[in-house]
Amino acid sequence: MSRVVVIGGSGHVGTYLVPRLVEAGFEVTNISRGQRQPYTPHAAWASVKSVAIDRDAAEKDGSFGRQILSMRPDIVVDMTCFTVESARLLAEPLVGQVQHFLHTGTIWVHGPSAVVPTTEMQPRHPFGEYGIQKAAIEAYLLDLARRRGFPATLVHPGHIVGPGWEPLNPAGHFDPAVFSTLARGEELVLPNLGLETVHHVHADDVAQMFMRAIASRSTAVGEAFHTVSPAAVTLRGYAEAVSAWFGREPKLVFRPWPEWKATHSTREAEATWDHIAHSPNCSIEKARRLLGYAPRYTSLEAVFEALAWLIEKGVVTRG
């Protein structure tokens, strides 16, 4: 039985990935900082070994990679790495010691969209600390794969969504009140003409990608794969679809970015700017062709599942 260590396995994607791994016959160890529970319960978790490690502290004393290696993993899935140094501290001790190493990246390694849909081959022009660091991690791991045979695969999700947390909304930020506004048929103000794009992916489709990469190791090693829904959506189209889902006619107003920004909080404005400045629209053709990736959810289907959960919890209201 192959041993898989999942770092951060009780989070968004791990909620779906860990049960998939158990059901596929893997021996799974979940590494987390505390005792966080997965978003959705599953009987498979009874078979999972959970180990609490403070990654930040372990990286500071240089022990993190050695602690993971001591678990004798065949496969390591890293979902909580955000800097090149963090990637190096984990990967270096594992060189020559594991069969497969999978890193959770982001489509933001690309920076602004140019030719769309964006393929994995297009040049990287990241901006913002998150995108810059993730692009640097990608470059480091792929170089390690090609120069030293490190069996790395990078999975680049879009805006991850699913029941249990608030999805990126049609205004480009995370305040669920936007959904309530649309549910009540009230006016929603969008930046510019609402034609910037966002590209969601259901957390279970990200889990599917990891499973397909593991199953096709020889093809996946040394490669990066976009992990998104079949198509991006515009902010305007997204808002119109949510209104229709609630049986409402959309009442959308559009304001130039400076005007829109002036009427929103700094937190909302920063989040929206990050999303509209990237306007991701990514191709999944490489993953389809090489791994057989077939996302179950469209962007809107994934959002509507999360939205139903928000309504059930009383976070989004219709009246």
| Domain count for the chain | 2
pLDDT at residue 38, as a whole number? 79
Is residue 150 situated within a structural domain? yes
Is residue 293 situated within a structural domain? no
Q: Using 50, 70 and 90 to split pLDDT, how confident is the model at 1? A: low
Is residue 289 situated within a structural domain? no
Task: Report DSSP letters for 51-69, one per residue.
Answer: EE--HHHHHHTT-HHHHHH
Q: Give the residue from 139, 109, 126, 114 showing the smallest Cα distance to 226.
A: 109
One domain, residues 19 and 156: yes
One domain, residues 194 and 206: no
One domain, residues 112 and 173: no
Helix 203-215 to helix 14-23 angle (10° resolution) is: 40
pLDDT at residue 286, as a whole number? 98
Q: State yes or no: pLDDT of 231 exceeds 70.
A: yes
> Which of 227, 243, 269 represents a domain boundary (last residue)?
227
One domain, residues 100 and 178: no
One domain, residues 43 and 151: yes
Is residue 291 situated within a structural domain? no
State the CATH number of the domain containing residue 83. 3.40.50.720
Say how far apart CA 205 and CA 202 lie, in whole Å: 5
Q: Give the residue from 45, 38, 39 showing the smallest Cα distance to 23.
A: 45
Say how far apart CA 132 and CA 125 lie, in whole Å: 8
Instruction: Output the average pLDDT for the chain.
Output: 96
One domain, residues 214 and 187: no
One domain, residues 190 and 206: no
CB 63, CB 38: distance < 8 Å: no
pLDDT at residue 40, as a whole number? 79
One domain, residues 175 and 252: yes
Task: Spell out the residues 6+ positions from residue 129 whose beta carbon is closer than 8 angstroms to its own.
Answer: none
What's the pTM value of the predicted model, to 2 decimals?
A: 0.96
Pairing between strand 197-198 and 233-234?
A: antiparallel
Q: State yes or no: pLDDT of 112 exceeds 70.
A: yes
Average pLDDT, integer, range 274-297:
98
pLDDT at residue 33, as a whole number? 86
One domain, residues 213 and 192: no
One domain, residues 9 and 147: yes
One domain, residues 22 and 103: yes
One domain, residues 27 and 118: yes
- Distances from the Cα of 303 to the Cα of 160, 200, 203, 233, 307, angstroms: 9, 8, 11, 11, 6
Q: Is 157 helix (H, G, I), strand (E, B) or coil?
A: strand
Task: Spell out the residues 6+ positions from residue 91 whose beta carbon is closer than 8 angstroms to its own.
Answer: 65, 101, 140, 141, 144, 150, 152
Q: In terms of residue numbers, what domain contains 144? A: 3-160+200-227
